A = this chain, B = another copy of it.
């Protein structure tokens, strides 16, 4: 099978490595000539170019650009694609992407492989990145079943756990477990940093350890990524943020009222509830 990958960053490059190791012919396109050259020189792809016409004979194309470039990339790619080619993307928000891309290409399947590292770019590409990771596909009623099956088969071959759901279900789910944590965590850093008493702030910085480190991790990440998810997943994220505020207000109310029984009940519940999100053994 001949596969095209547009965008040779961490995700595109890692996909290329895995698909090539499974015997597919992988053609990579990057806007930057140098990236295409690196991908070729390192054996990440079988062929590479900065031009989309490289993909004129592919069976499947993966759009691995940043969210904002996915639909425009597909628009540019369409004139070069064989009519039966299946196109998918790897964007972390699905409804707006699926809405824009479906009219452009009938065999389009929204996708979200939920894997990553702290690295960026082709240099960070690695084998087996998607093994055991969730891979969500978001077909609509109009998506041809054969297209979904083709991408699902590839995702399975990467060792991913494949889920299928409507785009908005995906977006609401990731708002809870990925985009809300980012804002909650960023708010923590902002609040602590706003302490006006220099002696307290200085000591807080010195005493911060694992509790602060873990709770603040995702809020201290790449700002562009944070803005992008907020921008593309705005309604779901706002809904989650508002419900979060209500929950926080219940904690604050219990502490204000010195209602320790209520606070204990709330914290017993969160202790139990957390394990339902993290079934795999962890801390």
Expressed in whole angstroms, the minimum distance between the Cβ of A232 and any Cβ of chain B is: 11
Expressed in whole angstroms, the minimum distance between the Cβ of A83 and any Cβ of chain B is: 33
Partner of A221, one of B177, B221, B271, B273: B271
Asked if A73 lies at the interface with its beta carbon under 8 angstroms from chain B, I say no
Chain A residues 56-105 with CB under 8 Å of chain B are none
Interface string of A193-210 (1 = CB under 8 A from B): 111010110011111110
Expressed in whole angstroms, the minimum distance between the Cβ of A183 and any Cβ of chain B is: 5
The verdict on A191 contacting B240 (CB below 8 Å), with A215-B215, A222-B271, A271-B222 known, is yes
Closest to A269 in B: B190
Stretch at the interface among A4-12, A18-26, A165-173: A165-173
Cβ A247 vs Cβ B197 within 8 A: no
Q: A212 vs B240: C-alpha distance in the bound complex, in angstroms? A: 14
Expressed in whole angstroms, the minimum distance between the Cβ of A32 and any Cβ of chain B is: 23
Closest to A233 in B: B255
Closest to A205 in B: B277
Cβ B169 vs Cβ A227 within 8 A: no
Chain B residues in 8 Å Cβ range of A234: 255, 258
Cβ B207 vs Cβ A134 within 8 A: yes
Chain B residues in 8 Å Cβ range of A190: 247, 250-251, 266, 269-270, 273
Partner of A247, one of B165, B194, B244: B194
8 closest Cβ pairs, A-B complex: A220-B274, A223-B267, A181-B215, A191-B244, A173-B203, A190-B247, A189-B270, A187-B248
